[in-house]
């Protein structure tokens, strides 16, 4: 993972636990480089059943990542939102029955949806590392706000 700059977009640090860190990593732009493929490309919207499954696994993933000093977080690559995660993290989520790209897509989209819920639709400029989320995903985040906040907060009383 290459870190070249930081800028927080997670409103008030609220989602720091969800994303394991509130850093935005900006990778240098190569103007002549080919188009970037991201975890979000070709992915359908997050659905409720999938979100519930994600919420069940996320605390376990956070604990594993913390214990193993693994970082996974949003990035902007060549102007496109993406999610950076190491191969170890991919293997871990795959062992839990997830497609790694989908797991981190859900993580990024739900974090972005929470920012929209918190800031309202007044979000003036969407940060480059923040994926586009559709109306249904924002409504899903609203519906499950309590659960999303519970798993995104640092381990205050959680026993997973």
Q: Is 8 left (phi over 0), alpha (psi -120 to 50) or beta?
A: beta
pTM of the prediction? 0.76
The C-alpha atoms of residue 22 and residue 31 are separated, in whole angstroms, by 27
Say what the pLDDT of residue 153 is: 72
pLDDT at 127: 87
Structure tokens belonging to residue 113 = 């949806």
Q: Which residues pair with 80 in a beta bridge?
A: 77
pLDDT at residue 15, rounded to an integer: 44
Domain spans in the chain, listed from the N-terminal domain onward = 11-27+36-152
What pLDDT does 137 receive? 96
For residue 75, which of 26, 39, 142, 3 has the smallest C-alpha distance? Answer: 26
**109, 47 contact by CB (below 8 A):** no
Q: How many CB atoms lie within 10 A of CB 49?
A: 8
Low-confidence ranges of the chain (pLDDT < 70): 1-34, 121-123, 154-160
């Amino acid at each position: 993972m290459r870190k070249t700059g930081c800028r927080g977009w997670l409103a008030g640090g609220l989602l720091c636990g969800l994303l394991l860190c509130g850093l935005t990593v900006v990778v240098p732009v190569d103007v002549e480089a080919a188009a970037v493929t991201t975890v979000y490309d070709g992915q359908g919207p997050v659905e409720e059943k999938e979100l519930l499954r994600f919420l069940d696994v996320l605390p376990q993933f956070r604990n594993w990542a913390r214990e193993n000093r693994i970082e996974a977080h949003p990035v902007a690559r060549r102007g496109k939102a993406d999610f950076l995660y190491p191969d170890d993290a991919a293997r871990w989520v795959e062992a839990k029955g997830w497609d790694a790209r989908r797991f981190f897509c859900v993580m990024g989209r739900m974090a972005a949806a929470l920012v929209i819920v918190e800031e309202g639709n007044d979000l003036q400029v969407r940060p480059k590392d923040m994926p586009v989320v559709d109306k249904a995903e924002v409504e899903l985040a609203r519906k499950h706000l309590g659960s999303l906040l519970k798993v995104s907060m640092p381990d205050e009383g959680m026993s997973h």
